[in-house]
Amino acid sequence: MAASGNPSQDTTGMNRPPASRENIPIIDLHLCRYQPAWDRQVQVHEKVLQGEWPDGALIFVEHPPVVTFGRRPGSADHLLADPATLDSRGVEVVQSDRGGDITFHGPGQLVAYPIIPLRRYGLGLLEYMRLLEQIVINTLEPFGIRGCRDSCATGVWVDVAGPSKIAQPDLVPAGQCVSQRANLQKVCAMGVKLRRWISLHGLALNVTTDLAYFDLINPCGLSRPVTSMRSLLGAQCPSIDAVKSRMMEEFWRQFHGD
């Protein structure tokens, strides 16, 4: 997954005014199919655009098994399973309007859709993507996992061969692709779209996701492995509700300043 949008102005570096906890609604859709959740994003986007929720909103959801395509040309070529296989596995296929390539959503995966007015916080698109990565890195750390970035691919990665399966966030220097390190696996995919400078879509963190579903696709078109918190932590893996609570606090900290 990746970014989509063509901002006409880069606001990177501007001071970000704090939001109020009371003014950023948290909407938990629990288990919800992709299309109804997408419709809810559009409804919330309108509330933010019209000033009803001027600081933005945050949607959490788990999706039933679904493969989604982004707007990147050729993304459909990265679907490896035929329709009969998808049907037998109960996997829906949806064309999305987000940026990026192909990805999978399913139970045990924490999906967050921040509907954020970027100009309200002085954020440019790339700065916002780095902020989402940092939110995930900070969410993982208390559970004994520390993620890293890849300058060549949006998302959060983990060194599965590192001590205690921990990798420093700055493990991969700028200009060096994570694909050059065979031990790194993707734990969180990201893809966003900007509409009137307000974000849609967001991130998908594998908590207890059944990773066998990823065999149906070439995730993000990268031919690189994925992992989950359960794969990394085994019996010590927290519940998705615990991860959600931690991520919620990290969103508050980044946007509210607490």
pLDDT in tens, the chain (258 residues): 444 443 333 333 334 454 555 678 999 999 999 999 999 999 999 999 999 999 999 999 999 999 988 666 565 666 888 889 999 999 999 888 776 678 899 999 999 999 999 999 999 999 999 999 999 999 999 999 989 887 777 899 997 776 544 444 444 444 444 444 567 889 999 999 999 999 999 999 999 999 999 998 876 545 578 999 999 999 999 999 999 999 999 998 888 765
What element of type H or E holds 226? Answer: none
Cβ proximity of 126 and 12 under 8 Å? yes
d(CA 152, CA 172): 10
Cβ proximity of 161 and 150 under 8 Å? no
The residues, ordered by sequence, that sit 6+ positions from 256 with a Cβ below 8 Å of its Cβ are 18, 19, 20, 21, 24
d(CA 254, CA 258): 8
Best CA proximity match to 152, nearest among 168, 170, 187, 176: 176
> Which pairing describes strands 57-62 and 26-31: parallel, antiparallel, or unpaired?
parallel
* Annotation marks residue 220 as catalytic: yes
* Length in residues, the chain: 258
Please report the beta strands in the chain, taking only residues with DSSP state E, as ranges in sequence order: 3-4, 26-31, 57-62, 66-69, 92-95, 102-105, 109-115, 148-150, 153-159, 184-195, 198-206
The pLDDT of residue 122 is 94
What element of type H or E holds 126? Answer: helix 125-140
Q: From the candidates 32, 148, 220, 237, which is the catalytic residue?
A: 220
> Which pairing describes strands 184-195 and 198-206: parallel, antiparallel, or unpaired?
antiparallel
Which residue ranges form the domains of the chain, and what is each CATH number?
A: 3-142+190-256 (3.30.930.10)
Angle between helices 125-140 and 240-256 (to 10 degrees): 130
**Side-chain half-sphere exposure of 75, counting CA atoms within 13 A:** 23
Structure tokens at 169: 């966030």
d(CA 252, CA 248): 6
* DSSP calls for 102-117: EEEE-TTEEEEEEE-B
Cβ proximity of 240 and 138 under 8 Å? no
The pLDDT of residue 54 is 94
